[in-house]
Amino acid sequence: MEEVIGQMFSNFKTQEFEPTEYSIFFNPKKYSYWFIVIYFPDSNTLRKGMKRGLCYQIYSYLINELNSIPEISQIDKSISFEFGKRPTEILDIENVLGQLVMKMNSQQKVAGKADIKICGNCGHDFDKHQLMCNLIDDTTTPTEGWIMCPEENCNCFQTWGANYKMENNKAKTKIGRLFKKIFK
């Protein structure tokens, strides 16, 4: 796991808003997930990295690489982004792990619900969250991307995906045009 994360730092080193540190949190007595936290130097750098898609690129890279390793692919993983320095003291580490577990529990409570009003990740109004993606070209309909909270100083980051199985090409074209209007 650490080898993949180390390679990610090498691959994304030329980015303008690059991450600086990471931590891996795991305590099987508290939760089955391995929590990977990527740290940016400050909140402004993190927000710019989120808005411009760097965090999503990092997330996608880590998920794809970690899931390609048979020994790691079956491990439950959560990847999140924070700013500042990673915790080094035992009490601080336990506090961060506790916060990550609480966030995960909140997210799981709203997962799969159709009418989410409050974000399970940050606690803000979910309707105001921004659905974002990287458009490859004008002829494709986006099928994945990230969600971020517009609240100042909130570093809420989530991913989204869509599987458009439509028999009617006309409907797919309409959805594609709608997404292009939203994301331009």
pLDDT higher at 182 or 10? 10
Residues 72-82: tens digit of each pLDDT: 899 999 999 99
Residue indicated by tokens 């965090």? 55
Question: Does residue 126 contact residue 117 with C-beta atoms inside 8 Å?
Answer: yes
Please state the domain count of the chain.
1
State whether the Cα torsion 155-152-103-52 is positive or negative. Answer: negative
Residues 27-39: tens digit of each pLDDT: 888 788 999 999 9
Residue 111 structural domain: 2-183
Q: How many CB atoms lie within 10 A of CB 20?
A: 15
Predicted local distance difference test score (pLDDT) of residue 170 = 52
Mean pLDDT over 2-10 rounds to 90
SS3 25: strand
Band (pLDDT 50/70/90 cuts) for residue 12 is: confident
Whole-number Å distance between alpha carbons of 131 and 119: 13
Global confidence as pTM: 0.81
Residues 68-116: tens digit of each pLDDT: 999 989 999 999 999 999 999 999 999 999 999 988 888 888 777 778 8
Alpha helix (H) ranges present in the chain?
2-11, 43-51, 54-67, 70-73, 90-110, 169-183
11 DSSP assignment: H
User: What does each C-alpha distance from 182 to 22, 35, 93, 127, 164 come to in angstroms?
Assistant: 33, 32, 40, 15, 17
Is the pLDDT confidence value at 123 over 50?
Answer: yes
